[in-house]
Chains A and B, each alone.
Chain A
């Protein structure tokens, strides 16, 4: 039941915040923060259990909940948490709290509704990370979209209508393909067993003919790589990230993108263990293209926020590469990268938000020399710029190193090209620091440096990114059981033929 509370409490907090917003601007913030703090306490309880319980070693679920929902369709409320869910829930609550904190002065309009939306998104994301019923998963997957749309469309910047519409349509169209695949799987499973169910654990072993398996998998994959995003499905990302308010950008980059990666790890690899390796080389290629392309485009931006947005394309390329290099090391690297990118990009977006709040512009041409005016803010920008370029000591370094190490085992050439992305990331990160924070002032007036609240936010982020970088063992231990239970079968040329004679026949009606 604790898992259901994890989702219900933010939802209830959001409703309370909405109601409170009619009277006073501060109560929505306090209520939202309180709800997330209660959730965080629950999280700590589970985390401590996870550390002591031998359950972790066995690779079973840390907590599980199973209720009926729509029995006619075989739909249940099946929530479960393993190491991967656990760390991602932790990231969600952490960034959730920070996005409430960083909107404390930025959002002055319709505060109650804003917080209701933020909390609804967070609840949707938590639901995605915890659902083990495919229908429920799709339900939460879609649930994240509407409040996110509102967040961008109402509190966004200049071009918000366009960006929010683009975001919604890209992700929704992707989601519909996943719905098709989920239903196909549902009917194939029924044809084989006579049982209608959306339960992940029951659908896991569904035998599929190679061609069917490929099509069904692609349905899932399209939905996930749009979210991730993988080049060429990324065009929604720079617009959505740039136009969203700071909290929206933090949640988008830090959490929403992770749901795509999570979906691949949780669903695509285990449901299609034979087919996933077949397309792995292609996915690796896309991942590498994403790494380089994202970095190059990032370098070309003059809008500070857009620059940070494009770095996400590059960094999420490493996640995709790690997943599809398909070995324990690279997968652990991918999970690590999800966390590290969440923290570092979240921090960069918050910093950009702070700059924009002070200067009312995101154009780097009109910045420069910020260091002398706001040294603390600029120092933080340098810290997270360095994190983004993968300097040792930061979580990003550990993650990218593991991904490259794992990839090297499979294909040294791929690893070598991907490593070039690291060079490019150094270029854009330092370029950003140089143009915005150093050099000559291209503006006038005076700016306030970080306030106590803002310093607190940044301090938390710095601690988190260094914790991931210097002491990654804990996270790696917790996610290891899942990663090591995955059966990776190396792709071979004649694999498609070899499996045609198996027990599975084309059951697609």
Chain B
């Protein structure tokens, strides 16, 4: 295989190059002028440029740049999603960090690097790019999680994340080695061919180890133990970033890596993913019921949401990619929105993660409460919101492939989930809230939340155009 990169190959790599350049520009920018707003503007410009370059990127189903990355419409869609999510996170982070003291500028450097890692994951078709992507992403996230060094919780969360991510990387590496030992190739396509035929013990073990490693990153049961602590300890916008960009990119990789294998034929793989999905749904929702801390509730809720999402991986046919693409878009919007509200309500001393912080919010800040309610209802899958159409699409994909067990578990869990979402909503609208001084919400924060709410309603009420877009993009993928 040709390893040289042609001009058209460079053009296809444009979004990645822009992200790299943006990180360097931001670093130099900080060196010359340490100014929060300036750095944020540079970062946003970099992300916007990266997103804009997607328009000019020549996506094609066979646009391999070396054997490491495949820049097809599938990658393009996820790049757009990741850049947009990072854009929203940066907007939210600005209002969050503005009230914090200390060195705030390097935060954005880490965000850009993490986005770069995530972007590589979305386009990876080779173990080398897979591992590079996941490490760039993880290393940046250690820094981001522990960014507030003056808070014990934040440091604790960072260390926890570091140890678990290192362990998961070890699992992935070992798995890769085993797979390579049997297949003799690190390209996804070749591995998939071998996995489809009767694979040997080495290949099987290798794949299971990779699943374990990816399971950590996706925070699915039984690899979820770090999630609530990290969600609780990390600064709210970083939590939003982990929940969306990190998990979304890893899921795109899962789709790319396992999507090529015929999971139905595999038998064992199907069983493993089914068990993980069912366990994630049940554990996520049942444990969320017992939480008092809003960030922990959302952590467990995100575990169950990834469980729902796994249904698409198991579904056969063309619906699979479309359903997961739509679900992730809806999940991104909703999760960013809900953590966005947590972010803008957080104070200098602590994040707004107690249920009491939300009591009577509706009467103190009706707009913010409206946004929060819409986001929670979307997580619960109630009509008019993106979450409803997304869940509907999941159920449709599941029934279309006759995954009755998974669909029924999903339905039961949707009902369980209502309890804790409604408990938060009930607190928001309770009459006995504290009067509380209300500080103004920064412009960037309200702009991000406004945009997310509009996206939520647009996807929920008139999803036709977006579905058509996904349909045309995913048609050319695979």
Contacts and interface: CB of A to CB of B under 8 A. Distances in A.
Interface string B376-411: 010000111000110010011001111000011001
Interface stretch (A163-171, A369-377, A382-390): A163-171
A72 B389 CA distance: 12
A142 B467 CA distance: 22
Interface in A150-172: 150, 153-154, 161, 164-165, 168-169, 172
B369 to A, nearest CB: 10
B383 A165 contact: no
A161 B407 contact: no
B422 A143 contact: no
Interface string B442-478: 0000000000000000000011100110010000000
A71 interface: yes
A110 interface: yes
A176 B414 contact: yes
A154 B418 CA distance: 18
Given A142-B383, A146-B377, A509-B400, A72 B471 contact: yes
Contacts of B463: 70
Nearest to A170: B415
Contacts of A177: 411
Main secondary structure on chain A at its contact with chain B? helix
A179 B419 CA distance: 19
B383 A508 contact: no
A165 B415 contact: no
A110 B411 contact: no
Contacts of B363: 110
A268 interface: no
A161 B467 contact: no
Given A153-B429, A154-B429, A176-B411, A71 B464 contact: yes
A187 interface: yes
A102 B123 CA distance: 61
B402 A180 contact: no
B431 interface: yes
A68 B463 CA distance: 12
A143 B383 contact: yes
A69 interface: yes
A164 B388 CA distance: 21
A265 to B, nearest CB: 23
A464 B24 CA distance: 76
A197 to B, nearest CB: 13
Contacts of B384: 139, 143
A184 interface: yes
Given A165-B419, A173-B415, A183 B396 contact: yes
A164 to B, nearest CB: 7
Interface residues of A, number: 36
Contact of A168 (B407, B422, B467): B422
Contacts of B402: 508-509
A138 B415 CA distance: 16
A70 B399 contact: no
Given A72-B464, A187-B400, A154 B383 contact: no
Contacts of B377: 146
B415 A73 contact: no
A169 B426 contact: no
Interface in B219-258: none
A509 B407 CA distance: 13
B320 to A, nearest CB: 15
B399 A183 contact: yes
Interface of A: 68-73, 109-110, 135, 138-139, 142-143, 145-146, 149-150, 153-154, 161, 164-165, 168-169, 172-173, 176-177, 179-180, 183-184, 186-187, 508-509
22 contacts: A70-B464, A72-B464, A109-B431, A110-B363, A135-B392, A139-B384, A142-B382, A143-B384, A150-B429, A165-B422, A165-B426, A168-B422, A172-B414, A176-B411, A176-B414, A177-B411, A179-B392, A179-B411, A180-B407, A183-B395, A186-B396, A509-B400
